[in-house]
């Protein structure tokens, strides 16, 4: 039988080709499994395919004692379970040593959400009298007005924008493959994008026929990291929390829509969530509003 590290490489190749997992997930699985294999060989003189239940539970206890979060422990356990299921299907082992191990319970983390006032301050932060300021203002507005992921925003092309019909076409490649969705644009946002394309974008690209909608320095397409730095700079400028990231706009978009009465399914479609349970986390701010309504209108209050 191949050694531990060859089996791990085979498994990661399977995940990449057959299941289309993202590079981030593959990197995390590789880190967890290789660390486990090294621990087994150094301390127990075992290969990863010789593991017994006691070995795995002892390693989980070791991870917790070292201060690893329950979220990270759960990720490691998921990687290990998937790995051993793969070995069984491939006929490399006869039984899953983790079949009796329970997953740790994790508290659902609530997303950071800006107040409408904070959003207004950030929207007004760029100096729209300059080309870069106009570009930044349109990007920030588009991010909040549509709930796009920052990678979706920075990868937009001019051909993805359909101003006459009032929508943008968004392509997303996540862990489960490529997806595409249409996201509606408010009239004001569409008009600002139109002005940007007509008057500001040419200052970045000149006469060249380049597909990207937004550009950073040296006439190169705007990157996620570049836009993240812009958000940090504007947040500091207007006194908004330093914890703000481009993804905070996505959280705020969804939460503000739901607070103002939007349908959960509609928000799910605009965010591009395949499972509505992912969207339901944004209903956490609905609870105070519902309590207020009950106190105001319920006859027993």
Give the model confidence (pLDDT) of 191-210 as tens digits. 999 999 999 999 998 878 88
End position of a domain, from candidates 51, 74, 89: 89
270 and 187 within one domain = yes
Q: 75, 84, 144, 149: which one is catalytic?
A: 149
205 and 132 within one domain = yes
pLDDT value, residue 242? 64
Q: For position 51, which CATH number holds?
A: 1.10.150.130
Among this protein's residues, is 149 annotated catalytic? yes
Q: 121, 224, 273, 284: which one is catalytic?
A: 273
pLDDT value, residue 1? 46
pLDDT value, residue 290? 47
149 lies in a domain? yes
Give the mean model confidence (pLDDT) for residues 270-296.
Answer: 66
Give the mean model confidence (pLDDT) for residues 274-278.
Answer: 77
pLDDT value, residue 112? 78
Q: Is the pLDDT of residue 298 over 60?
A: no
85 and 227 within one domain = no
Among this protein's residues, is 237 annotated catalytic? no
State the residue range of the domain holding 183: 116-292
82 and 159 within one domain = no
pLDDT value, residue 105? 55
pLDDT value, residue 60? 85
240 and 132 within one domain = yes
300 lies in a domain? no
Q: Could you write out the three-class secondary structure of 168-236?
A: EEEEEEECCEEEEEEEECCHHHHHHHHHHHHHHHHHHHCCCCCCECCECHHHCECCHHHHHHHHHHHHH
Among this protein's residues, is 273 annotated catalytic? yes
270 and 129 within one domain = yes
Average per-residue pLDDT for the chain: 83
60 lies in a domain? yes
Which sign, positive or negative, has the C-alpha torsion 124, 129, 133, 137? positive
Q: For position 283, which CATH number holds?
A: 1.10.443.10
Q: 75, 135, 201, 250: which one is catalytic?
A: 250
258 and 195 within one domain = yes
Q: What is the pLDDT of residues 24-42, one digit of tens each?
A: 889 989 999 999 999 999 9
End position of a domain, from candidates 70, 89, 108: 89
229 lies in a domain? yes
125 and 68 within one domain = no
Among this protein's residues, is 201 annotated catalytic? no
Q: Is the pLDDT of residue 165 over 80?
A: yes
Among this protein's residues, is 250 annotated catalytic? yes
256 and 149 within one domain = yes
Q: What percent of the chain has pLDDT over 90?
A: 35
Residue 301 — pLDDT band, cuts 50, 70, 90? very low
245 lies in a domain? yes
Q: What is the pLDDT of residues 97-138, one digit of tens each?
A: 876 676 555 555 566 788 889 999 999 999 999 999 999 999
pTM for this one? 0.61
99 lies in a domain? no
More confidently predicted of 200 and 294 = 200
130 lies in a domain? yes
Cβ atoms 80, 98 nearer than 8 A: yes
Among this protein's residues, is 14 annotated catalytic? no
pLDDT value, residue 2? 56
End position of a domain, from candidates 54, 73, 89: 89
Q: What is the pLDDT of residues 278-290, one digit of tens each?
A: 777 777 655 555 4
Q: 59, 86, 196, 282: which one is catalytic?
A: 282
pLDDT value, residue 141? 96
40 and 139 within one domain = no
Q: What is the pLDDT of residues 231-255, one digit of tens each?
A: 999 999 999 876 788 888 988 888 8
132 and 69 within one domain = no
101 lies in a domain? no
Quote the number of domains for the chain: 2
Q: 106, 176, 191, 292: which one is catalytic?
A: 176
165 and 263 within one domain = yes
Residues 6+ apart with CB under 8 A from 70: 104, 105, 106
Q: Which of 78-82, 111-115, 183-187, 219-223 has the lowest mean pLDDT?
A: 111-115
């Amino acid at each position: 039988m191949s050694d531990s590290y060859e089996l791990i490489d085979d498994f990661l190749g399977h995940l990449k080709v057959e299941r289309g997992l993202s590079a981030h997930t593959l990197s995390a699985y590789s880190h967890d499994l290789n660390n486990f294999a090294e621990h087994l060989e150094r301390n127990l003189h075992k290969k990863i395919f010789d593991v017994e239940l006691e070995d795995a539970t002892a390693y989980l206890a070791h991870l917790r004692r070292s201060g690893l979060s329950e979220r990270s422990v759960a990720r490691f356990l998921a990687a290990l379970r998937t790995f051993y299921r793969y070995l069984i299907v491939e006929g490399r082992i006869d039984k899953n040593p983790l079949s009796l191990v329970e997953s740790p319970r994790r508290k659902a983390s609530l997303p950071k959400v800006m107040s409408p006032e904070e959003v207004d301050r950030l929207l007004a932060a760029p100096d729209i009298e300059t080309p870069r300021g106009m570009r930044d203002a349109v990007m920030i507005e588009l991010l909040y007005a549509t709930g796009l992921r920052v990678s979706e925003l920075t990868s937009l092309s001019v051909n993805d924008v359909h101003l006459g019909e009032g929508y943008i076409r968004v392509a997303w490649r996540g862990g489960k493959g490529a997806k595409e969705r249409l996201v509606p644009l408010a009239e004001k946002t569409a008009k600002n994008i139109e002005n940007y394309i007509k008057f500001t974008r040419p200052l970045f690209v000149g006469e060249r026929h380049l597909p990207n909608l937004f550009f950073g320095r040296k006439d190169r397409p705007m990157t996620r990291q570049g836009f993240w730095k812009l958000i940090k700079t504007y947040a500091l400028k207007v006194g908004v929390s330093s914890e703000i990231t481009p993804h905070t706009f996505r959280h705020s978009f969804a939460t503000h829509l739901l607070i103002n009465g939007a349908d959960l399914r509609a928000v799910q479609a605009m965010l591009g969530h395949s499972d509505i349970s992912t969207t339901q986390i944004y209903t956490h701010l609905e609870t105070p509003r519902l309590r207020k309504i009950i106190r105001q209108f319920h006859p027993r209050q």
